[in-house]
Structure 1
Amino acid sequence: MIIPLSRTEAPELPQDKLARRLTGIAASYLDAPQIADIFRAYEAARTAHEGQFRLSGEPYICHPLSVALILAELRMDAKGIMAAILHDVIEDTPVTKEQLRQDFGDEVAELVDGVSKLTQLDCKSSAEAQAQNVRKMVLAMIKDLRVIMVKLADRLHNMRTLEAMSPPRRRRIARETLDIYAPIASRLGMNEVRIELEDLGFAAMHPLRYRVLQQAVRKARGNRKEVMALIESSVKKRLEQAGIVGYQVIGREKHLFSLYQKMRSKRLTFQQVHDFFAFRIVVGNVDECYRSLGMVHNLYKPVPGRFKDYIAVPKGNGYQSLHTVLIGPHGMPLEIQIRTRAMNQVAESGIAAHWLYKSDSELGDRSQARAYEWLRNLLEIQQTAGDSLEFLDNLKVDLFQQEVYVFTPRGKIIKLPRGATVVDFAYSVHTDIGNACVSARIDRALVPLQTTLENGQTIEIVTAPWARPNPMWLSYVVTAKARAAIRSYLRNFKKQEAIALGRRLLEKELAAQGTTLEDLPGENINQLLTSLDLPSLDALLEDLGLGNRLPFLIIKHLVQDEAGPDTTQGSRKRTRSPLVIKGTENMVVNLGKCCRPIPGDPIIGFFNPGKGLVIHQSDCKNVTELRMKQMNWVDVEWDKQASGDFPAVIRLELLNQPGTLAQVAASISRMSANIENVQITNQDNQISTDIITLSVRDRAHLANVMRELRKLSVVTRITRVKSETKKTRRHD
């Protein structure tokens, strides 16, 4: 990695010093015409940024040059380095994308545009603006991986020079780095970049904790120096005895942010962390990796359950290595990683290995293939996301994950984050399978959808043609793909149901006028849509279904009655058939929580903008107030075939003695009803007053349940509650 030059090294023209370093490094692997193009890009950027300075006081051009230096160290190609030098000209200068295209070609212009932030955004908050910019960057990254390489180098240099900013701005940038950019570097296998971003972010977020931990590590390093030297010597001796040549044994220590995260997650003091020192063994081939593993297991006792074979099953970013934890001298836990030289290159550089080690095509192909596989998943996630904030939320979910490996019935390995459920697995196979899943078989045993998966299980998804995503799934899925697909389906489902309800409401009003929607002149409908600034009839019907517009007002515009404008209003007084409510099948038909109507209750409907039609009992205490708003209500009735589970509330006065609640629960269960909630509102030595929420089919079912409860000797009184009560104690 390149360390920024201090201004004391070249106080007069620091940009020229950086430019010479850049061309010197680039000349070691690029030809003369490419060096000339890079210098031409530097001249253009210097002219564009003329008169601009960073908060540190140095000329602004020093920043893009430093970004280009970082990429040159990674052997980035000439176009990528040119894009790094020019990456801020569209955002911070009058230079346009079209000018860049004319001067440097389409490839450089697209790269610079992909890195540039979105300007003049119509965003309600800074969080939304950040989400829009991340979304744009990810979309550009999907087209060309060099976009994220430039952006990571840009962020790395900004983090190195963060001291000039105010503390609140430092913390904001550090949080963004730790939440988004460091995890992206990890997913792309760029381990060195990730470690530096995390440590710099940690230092900016918690400077005091960083300094204290840094001092503690320095002290521990001195105390354990002799032990580490003994371990290194013993490992080398065993490798030589096994006939392994050309090996490397590298001692390393956990970087500070990783150490801090471990202390926080496991609630440890620094003195309780014993494994912040580790060794890496680098050998020539895979066979030597497994032989070396046997040697170290013979040297020190391995800790059961702490061996991981990432060579046989690589991580999602292409990382391969053998990991084992041993009990070293004095009982000290010791982590050892064993890998080949090629694996080590990928582990350190990730997708950058494509440019660093072009002689090894397997390296570049493998790391790039893994990266593009992840990016394809991101593309699917962004296509189903409702807005940029939702996409950013899904991206964070996708970035922060530990992995579990399971199998399809045909033996294909599926990688999922730890904590993933059957639903996550179903969506990882295919979105249509996720949408239609009803249960699963894990190792041939039938399990529910919320079952958490474990390593090595074989999963078979059970689907049904009538099944559809349940909003409750969002409470336990962990993958971004599943979350985005469920939200997308529910959004579209609500839209279609709103359109269907809107059509029923409009047809009902038109029937009162003696006509139908099909009989209306198309010209009338088009004029109405134009006047309301709506793109289609479906948009109008959706508004009607969601309660944003009232059907009888729309009729005034659609039906031209010779009797004058009051005819439509007068038609509301005619006898008309009420709207039929089938039950709980429509998301845009909601049951009022104040009175909890169930099939069999007399009901009335009120329009609530954005929520659609809200159903109340006719004698609900809120109906009187709502009826005063004549424009908002509609006659409704239950369909005879209405089905589903409906919440109903009953109040019970019970003898306060042991086993009372158990008797009540047993009686309710015998009547095929479910208890959703129990609240104890009042209790003394003799009587306990309980409020119980049940799930019942209809009014007759509720009556049967209450009749059965009255037979119990412990029940002194029972009534149905038609309004909410204050919750005092809960037993779910």
Structure 2
Amino acid sequence: MFPPELVPLLEKIQSYNKQADFLKIEQAYLFAARAHAGQLRASGEDYIIHPLGVAIILAEIGLDTDTIIAALLHDVVEDTGVTLDELAEEFGPTIASLVDGVTKLGRLEDLNKQERQAENLRKMFLAMAEDLRVILIKLADRLHNMRTLNYRPRDKQKETAQETRDIFAPLAGRLGISRIQWELEDVAFRFLEPEKYREIAELIDRKRDEREAVINHAMLDLKERLKDVEIEADISGRPKHFYSIYRKMQAGRTFEEIYDLTAIRVIVNTVKECYEVLGLIHSIWRPIPGRFKDYIAVPNANMYQSLHTTVISDRGERLEIQIRTWEMHRVAETGIAAHWRYKEGGKADQKLAQRFSWLRSILEWQQELRDAQEFVDGVKIELYPDEV
């Protein structure tokens, strides 16, 4: 009988990996719970809620057993008396290595706060070069911490939100993990610029009913047309996240000019059907010249693939539409994490890391630059996201 608080995690894992070692996951959870016994979060909750939350985030993007176990154990070396040797003995060298990769450096008393942050980021990137799963754990760790950031002191909120916006959100974007990137961006935005965040929330709320009516009408129309040509498709509305809207307004566009506040997403079974749906859409509604992008033929560097088009509906509204297969959708949501969905044990092959030229650049700088802050400044420039 598994502990009841562990069941939601196990159910998520079972949904994509029935071969997972559930007993070993339970062993890791109980080990972490004992190690963190008596420790509390800033929210007043038992500390074990945090590693469990991190593991659930990773299960939501389909990670392997080793990564889930490392997530449950990721703070035991940093925050308790457990050593890496003990972890290696109990759970094996791979899991100990993953935990080491996300553990902050000790003995940095001689450095100021900025230098400590820089050295810890440098360590994280080095560990990431050895095993990319390190950064997936770190991103999930940061996301869970951001969800409870309101319990931290105001100065700590700003500092953490700024680092999230500068490093972790664009890093998630570069790795193609859009669902984590967008939430990190929006939460950081809320803490860094609360008034602007509220302003955009109010603008969206004011227009919501009107936009939903337009989108629902268009989706119903499209569903009927696809039924006529016997193409099985999942059609849904996809709202833009707040930070994306804010950046467009910063670039000089008014709220009224941002017509893609909600996009329509069409998911089909084959690549051939993607292009058939595109042709059908362009026969129903008038495409806007210069607004078509084929990321299927030419995928983004972060592995993202979809067809994008913007059309004028029969009501004169602009509609942004994305078309992709289910496999493309999985990669668009989980990026590099998709590589581990059906694998158990072992790192990703080096070819996977080689696909990311920006990571090679960062690692080359690491060898050349002695100054950790200079390294972090270079990382920020290299990571700045090219938004899809």
Do structure 1's residue 245 and structure 2's residue 231 form an aligned pair? yes
TM-score, length basis structure 1:
0.49
Distance 1:321 1:20, change over 3 A: closer
2:37 is aligned to 50
Distance 1:401 1:228, change over 3 A: closer
1:207 is aligned to 194
1:18 is aligned to 5
> Greater CA deviation, 365-374 or 153-162?
365-374
- What is the deviation of 1:257? 1.2
Percentage of matched positions with identical amino acids: 47
1:398 to 366, 382, 386: 382
2:73 to 86, 92, 117: 86
* Per-residue CA distance 1:404-427 (angstroms, 9 max, x = gap): xxxxxxxxxxxxxxxxxxxxxxxx
CA distance in 1, matches of 2:47, 2:65: 22
- What is the deviation of 1:112? 0.4
Distance 1:107 1:265, change over 3 A: same
Q: How does 1:383-462 map to 2 (within 5 A)?
A: 383-402=367-386
Distance 1:184 1:244, change over 3 A: farther
- What is the deviation of 1:44? 2.0
2:267 to 282, 301, 320: 282
CA distance in 2, matches of 1:208, 1:259: 14
CA distance in 2, matches of 1:385, 1:181: 21
CA distance in 1, matches of 2:338, 2:350: 10
1:260 is aligned to 246
2:63 to 64, 67, 76: 76
Contact 1:346 1:367 in 2 (8 A): no
**Match of 1:331, SS?**
coil
**Match of 1:224, SS?**
helix
CA distance in 1, matches of 2:177, 2:351: 10
Contact 2:132 2:353 in 1 (8 A): no
CA distance in 2, matches of 1:367, 1:208: 44
TM-score, length basis structure 2:
0.90
Which amino acid in the other structure matches residue 251 of structure 2?
S
Contact 1:64 1:88 in 2 (8 A): yes
Which amino acid in the other structure matches residue 365 of structure 2?
I
CA distance in 1, matches of 2:351, 2:275: 23
1:171 to 150, 158, 161: 158
1:104 is aligned to 91
Which amino acid in the other structure matches residue 289 of structure 2?
P
Which amino acid in the other structure matches residue 193 of structure 1?
I
CA distance in 2, matches of 1:126, 1:63: 24
Which amino acid in the other structure matches residue 317 of structure 2?
M
Distance 1:317 1:227, change over 3 A: same
Higher helix share: 2
Which amino acid in the other structure matches residue 76 of structure 1?
L
CA distance in 1, matches of 2:147, 2:121: 21
CA distance in 1, matches of 2:270, 2:303: 17
Distance 1:209 1:350, change over 3 A: same
- What is the deviation of 1:371? 5.2
* Per-residue CA distance 1:419-438 (angstroms, 9 max, x = gap): xxxxxxxxxxxxxxxxxxxx
2:311 is aligned to 326
- What is the deviation of 1:333? 2.3
Q: Give the number of equivalent residue pairs.
A: 383
- What is the deviation of 1:230? 2.0
Contact 2:292 2:310 in 1 (8 A): yes
Q: Which has the higher contact order (CA 8 A, sep 6+)?
A: 2
Do structure 1's residue 140 and structure 2's residue 124 form an aligned pair? no
1:380 to 357, 364, 371: 364
**Match of 1:204, SS?**
helix
- What is the deviation of 1:158? 0.4
Unaligned runs of 5+ in 2: none
Which amino acid in the other structure matches residue 286 of structure 2?
K
Distance 1:283 1:25, change over 3 A: closer
Do structure 1's residue 306 and structure 2's residue 291 form an aligned pair? yes
1:66 to 42, 47, 53: 53
- What is the deviation of 1:276? 0.9
Contact 2:215 2:264 in 1 (8 A): no
Contact 2:173 2:385 in 1 (8 A): no
Which amino acid in the other structure matches residue 332 of structure 2?
A
CA distance in 2, matches of 1:83, 1:366: 21
Higher strand share: 1
- What is the deviation of 1:69? 1.7
Distance 1:357 1:342, change over 3 A: farther
* Per-residue CA distance 1:480-511 (angstroms, 9 max, x = gap): xxxxxxxxxxxxxxxxxxxxxxxxxxxxxxxx
* Per-residue CA distance 1:349-379 (angstroms, 9 max, x = gap): 11221233569xxxx9999467555433332
**Match of 1:50, SS?**
coil
1:153 is aligned to 140
2:328 is aligned to 343
CA distance in 1, matches of 2:44, 2:119: 30
Contact 1:187 1:371 in 2 (8 A): no
- What is the deviation of 1:17? 4.3
Which amino acid in the other structure matches residue 153 of structure 1?
A
Unaligned runs of 5+ in 1: 1-14, 404-732
- What is the deviation of 1:207? 2.5
CA distance in 2, matches of 1:326, 1:315: 22
* Per-residue CA distance 1:74-96 (angstroms, 9 max, x = gap): 33222111111111111111222
Contact 1:317 1:370 in 2 (8 A): no
Q: How does 1:161-240 map to 2 (within 5 A)?
A: 161-240=148-227
Distance 1:17 1:175, change over 3 A: farther
Q: Which has the larger radius of gyration?
A: 1
